[in-house]
Structure 1
Amino acid sequence: MKKRLLTSIAAAVMLTSTTLPVANNVAPHSHKVSAATMEQNAFLSKTAKQAEKAAKKYGVYPSVMIAQAIIESGWGQSGLAVNSNNLFGMKADDSWPGESYLARTREEKDGKSYYINARFRKYNSLKESFEDNGKKLREGVSWQPLRYQGAWLENANTYAEATKALTGTYATDSKYDVALNSRITSHNLNQYDPVISKTTKYYTVEKSGSVYNWPTDHSVAKAVGSVKSGEKVTVTKTITFHDGSSRMYIEGKGWINGTSLTKGKTTTSEPSTQAPKGATKVEKNLMHNAYVYDAKGKKIKGKMYKISDEAGSKLIATYGTKTIKKKPYYRVGENEYIAAGNIDGTLRFLKHNAYVYNQYGNRDNTLKHKKNEQVATYGSAVKINGKKYYRIGIRQYIKKSNFM
């Protein structure tokens, strides 16, 4: 993306019959945002619904998109916005199949500014402009598809986290998030945002169907697995939109529309355990969902310890250990045990260098384990976006295929 250095207001002042506005500019951060004028209210009434639709389709924050449009287009008053419905300063490269609009724009290299004439995308409507920006935020750029992943609804729990993720990626201005946040708070733009809940809930699948890698429209996302009618699932994140619809993340599987699940039905609950008499209590950090077994190694129906990927772990009371069928278990109650591997982990050797992924299958390029390194894994492998992973830490996973 280009440098955002001049203000949209300044760009409007520079307009002449032959000089076109600078696109993609961020207003100076000392600029005080005043109460909305009639023109600004008119702009919001035209764009809010379009932003909501595009944001829901691509799984991003409407408030962030509107704030971007405000800054980039000077409340829709820039020549680029007026003449080509381009609210985001989107350039027209060789891959753009539509019409284009020539504009004079300011660039920066090695700290020095210069001007060029550039082609920008021309849209038939503001709706198309929001659609294109939503697509850009989700799909990134050709050389870096995950460039804006920090701004996605599944990764950013607030609009502030999203704007921070766009700083230095969408815009080079180190205070781009400050500029966006000031517009969002001053004009209450977060009223258009969905509600995100990280409360763990248990459901029954009402109708069979696919699960997806993203909480977007299915036309945008990729099917990575499926669930069957009657299957018991754990939901660790719910995104509820203004129209009442929702998308839910099924732990270890993927995203699904809320209508596919039976609301309010809990499949399992936290075990109600009774401390063994005279036993010493020791709290242990549970790192993986754990079934509860009796002293003969038989699974106790309806009892299971659950942890969400958001919480990452859970402290539980244990009362010593026991070997059952040659495998170690922790005692958690009278005649109740859980496999020790869910707490202590199992050491495994890596046969390849391996990256670390989060609970959504997104890779952390800063974390990498080396070939032949011994890594503790917790519990059995889980499926994320159709692939099997071992959990190695709080919200940290390595592909099962990397282990010996």
Structure 2
Amino acid sequence: MLKPMAYYNFVISRRKDHMKKNLRIVSAAAALLAVAPIAATAMPVNADTTATATTTNTPTVNLSGAGSVSESKDTVNVTPSFTLTGAIGANGVVTTPATLQGTLEASLNGTTVSANVVDAAKRVNLTSQSGITPIYYNDGKQIINHLGDWNSKYNDVYVKAGNEYKMTLSGVGFSFGSANAYKKVTFNLPTNVTMSSDHGSLVGDGNTVTLDQFGNARELTFVVEHIKAYDATNNNNVSFYNTNSGMTETKGSYMTLAENGKLNVKTLLDNLTKQYRPVQIQDGKFNNVNLTTTVDDVKAELEEAGIKVDAAGDFEAPDTFTVTLNAKSDVNGKTASLPVVVTVPNGKSTVEPSVSKTVMHAAYYYDKNGKRVGTDVVPTYSSVNLVSDSSASNGLKTYTINGKSYYKIANEDKYIAAGNVTGTSRTLKHNAYVYKTSKKRANKVTLKKGSSVTTYGSAVKLANGKLYYRIGKTQYVKVANF
């Protein structure tokens, strides 16, 4: 099976006589695409992971858009993500060239691939969205046009901060692996993106494409519109202004009451944005910044927290939860996030019923996916509050994660292995003594062959170098007896 990869030729509004450049196939990766006129660099990563582009100073422009088609198992979700900064000129000279960075990412059935350009395009044509003169770049260094210098009368031929531009990505190909061979897929595009075939015959109605025997979609063209050029000279950050307190904040709080036990996502978001306004200082005053958080974003965050939202956007209100507001500046692309803790006095209590239990074997913390959380360890014989279940014989609610049993720390997103608390029943193959240390017996009891003994956690090595199972406080039985 071919590993996922992506490749494309990068051309911005090319002209057939002058603007064609073939770029090599590149592996799936986090991408850093820089053109016009700075050469692109590649930062390869594990091809089996989802990769996104990042930049040091200017956040990536996420052009995912809205109005996408319904997702299905045969839907390819396309996300172009680019940052364009305008050229900076002074005294008739371009002091800082324009740059374009970003990726073209596609996902199908859990497989995500993104294009990574190894070499910058030698010749690039960038057209203003308003139809102004095209801008040419050559060899990643020199601007080619009929003027040849920076001139205020004709400076529209340069990438200008604040202007919008359109680019064309041609020769795009995605490989989703032979498991998707010959599958007919539908490309789910943002509203500012259109798609066609380089040969005019591979893309069917509704942006459908039939993958080849290797699961490849080949020779596609994507046109991305309304890419605004950011102002590289503006370094002002985005913040959230609390209209109640008259101050900017990094953490928010909001209180509301549930109606018939429920809240509505849209109403909640509207109220939050009335209290918290994203702003950016410009010309000595706060200017409004676009809020990028949508109703769907809030719904997804709630459902990630285990709060179910119905088709009408209503949900049963817990007494406390968090909604994150995000914003992005149109001026310089700066972003900001504000987590808002929402309290609902008449909401459903989120305090989990719990019972104190003794941890019989040192235990690691895990998340809901069974992955280790940090390096902290719950010490042996310490007490922890675990989520209780009165119907269970041991009084604890058991969570099965990846086929293994865990108990949850009450009111925290942490889990510990069940065997470290309630133990595992094992059958003795030999008569066995119970030891206090490697040399001293804990008592005069002899455990009989065939009897069941509860052991806690994994085996431990005592001073004599032999392995023992803990069966109680300072009580051990040799592993060899099981």
Q: TM-score, normalised by structure 1?
A: 0.29
- Higher CA-based Rg: 2
- Give the strand-richer structure, 1 or 2: 2
User: TM-score, normalised on structure 2?
Assistant: 0.25
Would you tell me which structure has more helix in proportion to its own residues?
A: 1
